[in-house]
Copies of this chain bind each other. A is one copy, B any other.
Amino acid sequence: MPPRARLARERARDAVTAEILDVARAQLAEVGPGGLSLRAVAREMGMAPSALFRYLPHKDALLTRLIIAGYDSLGEAAEAAEAAVHDAGPAERWMAICHATRDWALANPQEYALIYGSPVPGYAAPQDTVGPATRIPRLLMALLGDALAAGLPVPAPGADAERMHAAIAPLRATMPPEVPDSMVVRGLIGWTHLFGAVSFEVFGHRTFDVLDDPAAFFDHEMRLLGGLLGLIPA
């Protein structure tokens, strides 16, 4: 199997695969996950529906690729925003990540719903999505590590220190051991709240406790939480 010759076929195949993904993502933005239809994708591409199955084993595979693409797109946006203020101190970096995440989610609500909403019926996230999914948390952990090295005061551990130590063990294993437990916990809390705030807004649950200026509230909220994390001096 000479690699030179094989390329023609494979390139064509990759091109079609890429087009499927593109069309699917465009359709996702319109009708949302769940509304996504393989037949509609095939229709728009001028193909028979059955032909799609030469490139995808089943619909879930397409969803997986879209999910990974979504994670990557969001991760890239957050990383770029963080990099742009990387020298401006932890508080700015924290806020940059928060705002980038919110902006991306509001600009791509359906993609956000696909990756952070309730899982679709029979779908189970395969291992491939783990890497891209952790880009933002990793960004936050790096931020906390830097701040720590720069002399960020470490909050005193609570009474349940040893129990916490055990609870976060798996996450600990992925991080340098000199990061104190309380910092790991703070990072998780920050990430959790960022997700909660953005999801509330994107999924429309903020229309009940109505806000006149969601952007201002978000800024205020995340700044306050940055204080709790110790990233922003009170």
Contact = CB atoms under 8 A, between A and B. Distances in A.
Interface of A: 31-35, 113-114, 116-122, 125, 130, 133-134, 137, 158, 160, 163-164, 166-171, 185, 188-189, 191-197, 199-200, 203-205, 208-214, 216-217, 219-221, 223-225, 228
Contacts of A120: 34
Contacts of A224: 158, 185, 189, 228
Protomer copies:
2
B134 A208 contact: yes
Which DSSP category, helix, strand, loop or mixed, fits chain A's interface? helix
B119 A210 contact: no
A161 to B, nearest CB: 10
B221 A167 contact: no
10 contacts: A32-B121, A114-B118, A118-B118, A158-B223, A163-B216, A168-B211, A168-B217, A171-B209, A192-B200, A193-B196
A164 B203 CA distance: 22
Nearest to A110: B118
A218 B114 CA distance: 25
A170 B35 contact: no
Given A137-B208, A188-B217, A192-B200, 5 more contacts: A32-B119, A163-B216, A167-B216, A188-B221, A195-B196
Contacts of A130: 208
